[in-house]
Every structure is written in C-alpha cells, then in structure tokens.
C-alpha cells in the first residue's frame, strides 16, 4: 500500500469525514482522496486554478475542498481554531517541510484538533540513505535529487520518548508512514529531546526497527480492523 491507499483505507474503514493534508505540492494525493470535507495547506501549491476544476469532475469530493496558501504554522494559528471548533479533524496527513522542528510542530498542532478516534499519518519516516536524510539546506546546496526524507524520523523517536498517551508505529512502506493514534503506547523509548537532536543517520540506520516501531502492512489492517 502507498500513502494514498493507506489514507483512503482509513477513511473508508473508520468512516472518517474530515481530511487535512499539510504539504500538498501538485495534489497527487490530495485530489485523489475521497472525503466529505478536505482541507489543503501549502505555501506554494504546484497546480493552477484550472486543475482544481478538472479534479472536481474526476472526484466530486474536490467540490467542497478548501485551500490555504500558507505555512502550516500560519494555518494552525489563523484558521484551525475556528474551522475545527465544533468538528475535529479525523485524519491528518503531514507531508510539509521535512525537518524536525516543523514536523514536531505540525504533530503537536494537529493533535490539538484531532478527534479522539482520529489518526495522524507522517510521510518520510524511514530514510534508507544518508543523502535522503540531510537538512533542506544541504539537499539544496548539494543539488541532490530523488526522494528527500529529511529527519522526520526524529519526530517518531521524540513522540515515542515523550508522549505517554499516544501510540506510534511506522508502516514499512512508501518511505515510511508514521501512524499516530491516541491510546496507551505499545512501548516507550527513553531519550531526551537533546539526545534526539544529536542523533545522526548512522543511529537510525542501526536502530530503525526498534526506534521507528517498524511494522508490515498487515499490522495496519489488524490494528484498525
Ligand atoms: C513532499 S511535498 C508534498 C507531497 C504531497 N503530500 C504528496 O503526497 O504528493 C512537500 C510540500 O510541502 C510544502 N511545504 C514546505 N514548507 C511547508 C510548511 N511550512 N507548511 C506547509 N507546507 C509546506 C512544499 O511547498 C511542498 O509542496
């Protein structure tokens, strides 16, 4: 299963209504997703207005979709409080800036507006090469190409070390899909935020199974089944 399939599986299975995507790019996932209410957040969408109309014809749930051309921090400050005052977010896909502080903020902010039975999905949690794990600055300066995961993985380690009331695992598919739900953690890690910030690719490479709580796809079906 790729990220799109996992998102749609959860929407269908849990009868989720409200879908929020942070970091949308060309809408590859967003336009395909079928949900009653859809919210797209990106400071630089990579599609033109005509694409939105085309996508309404392809998938009628795009008719009511709302677009916020801004960073996720601005969205959570300016829009989320009123948007999600009465009805919370059911499913949030976080795929914006792939650096620890940004992703950590996105998760903390999303948790604030997440329904008690909701789910957060983090993309890019399982970097397989040192190149894919570099900072955005290094990625740009070195002219690297291909999939950039950044250090999203540190957020998984952080959540599993700090939060006692959420369960976190990572599906071993599509660059690593972090799955976050409320509930008792399966097992905790014991790192401080300072330690996590100091970790490098070598550390995650040596410990990815344990630190990411890596699971096969079949685990997802049982977990939500
Ligand atoms: C990897 S792309 C998203 C891909 C898309 N979710 C998909 O699955 O096809 C990352 C996107 O995050 C956006 N982005 C960068 N910084 C952001 C921020 N602070 N808040 C929200 N989105 C951000 C970029 O403009 C870019 O379009």
Model confidence pLDDT, tens digit, residues 135-152: 999 999 999 998 999 999
| Tokens (6 digits) for 19 | 């879908």
pLDDT at 138: 95
Does ligand 1 have an atom closer than 6 angstroms to the CB of 156?
Answer: no
Q: Are strands 18-22 and 37-41 parallel, antiparallel or unpaired?
A: parallel
Q: Are strands 114-122 and 177-182 parallel, antiparallel or unpaired?
A: antiparallel
d(CA 89, CA 112): 9
DSSP summary character for residue 174: T
Taking CA atoms only, the protein residue closest to ligand 1 atom 26 is 25
Distance between Cα 41 and ligand 1 center (Å): 8
45: pLDDT confidence band, cut at 50, 70 and 90? Answer: very high
Residue 225 has pLDDT above 90, yes or no: no
Contact 211, 156 (CB under 8 A): yes
Does ligand 1 have an atom closer than 6 angstroms to the CB of 94?
Answer: no
Closest alpha carbon to 222 in 184, 177, 188, 171: 171
Does ligand 1 have an atom closer than 6 angstroms to the CB of 149?
Answer: no
- Please state, for a pLDDT cut of 70, what percent of the chain lies above it: 100
pLDDT at 33: 98
Is the pTM of the predicted complex or chain greater than 0.95?
yes
pLDDT at 207: 98
Q: What is the mean pLDDT of residues 147-163?
A: 97
- If one residue of 19, 20, 23, 71 were mutated to test the ligand 1 pocket, choosing by the most ligand atoms within 8 A of its CB, it would be 23
Residue 94 has pLDDT above 90, yes or no: yes
120: pLDDT confidence band, cut at 50, 70 and 90? Answer: very high
Q: What is the mean pLDDT of residues 175-180?
A: 98
Return the axis-axis angle of helices 3-14 and 217-224, rounded to nearest 10°: 10
Closest alpha carbon to 41 in 115, 137, 105, 85: 105
Q: What is the mean pLDDT of residues 59-87?
A: 97
Residue 36 has pLDDT above 90, yes or no: yes
Rounded to the nearest 10°, the torsion over CA 225, 169, 71, 134 is -140
- If one residue of 97, 127, 177 were mutated to test the ligand 1 pocket, choosing by the most ligand atoms within 8 A of its CB, it would be 97
- Please state, for a pLDDT cut of 90, what percent of the chain lies above it: 99
d(CA 119, CA 60): 23
Rounded to the nearest 10°, the torsion over CA 154, 225, 32, 133 is 20
Return the axis-axis angle of helices 201-212 and 153-162, rounded to nearest 10°: 50
pLDDT at 106: 98
Q: What is the mean pLDDT of residues 112-118?
A: 98
pLDDT at 15: 98
Does ligand 1 have an atom closer than 6 angstroms to the CB of 71?
Answer: yes
């Amino acid at each position: 299963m790729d990220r799109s399939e996992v998102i749609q599986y959860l929407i269908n299975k849990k009868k989720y209504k409200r879908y929020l995507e942070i970091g949308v790019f060309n809408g590859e996932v967003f336009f395909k997703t079928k949900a009653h209410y859809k919210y797209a957040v990106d400071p630089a969408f990579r599609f033109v207005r005509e694409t939105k109309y085309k996508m309404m014809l392809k998938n009628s749930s795009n008719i009511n979709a709302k677009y916020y051309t801004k960073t996720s921090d601005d969205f959570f400050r300016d829009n989320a409080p009123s948007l999600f005052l009465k009805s919370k977010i059911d499913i949030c896909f976080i795929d914006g800036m792939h650096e620890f502080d940004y992703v950590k903020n996105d998760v903390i902010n999303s948790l604030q507006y997440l329904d008690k039975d909701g789910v957060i999905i983090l993309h890019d949690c399982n970097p397989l090469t040192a190149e894919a794990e570099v900072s955005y600055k290094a990625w740009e300066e070195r002219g690297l190409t291909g999939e950039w995961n950044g250090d999203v993985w540190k957020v998984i380690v952080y959540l599993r070390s700090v939060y006692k009331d959420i369960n976190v695992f990572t599906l071993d598919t599509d660059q690593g899909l972090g799955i976050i739900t409320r509930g008792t953690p399966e097992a905790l890690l014991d790192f401080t935020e300072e330690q996590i910030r100091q970790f490098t690719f070598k550390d995650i490479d040596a410990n990815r199974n344990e630190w990411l709580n890596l699971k096969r796809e079949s685990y997802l079906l049982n977990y939500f089944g």
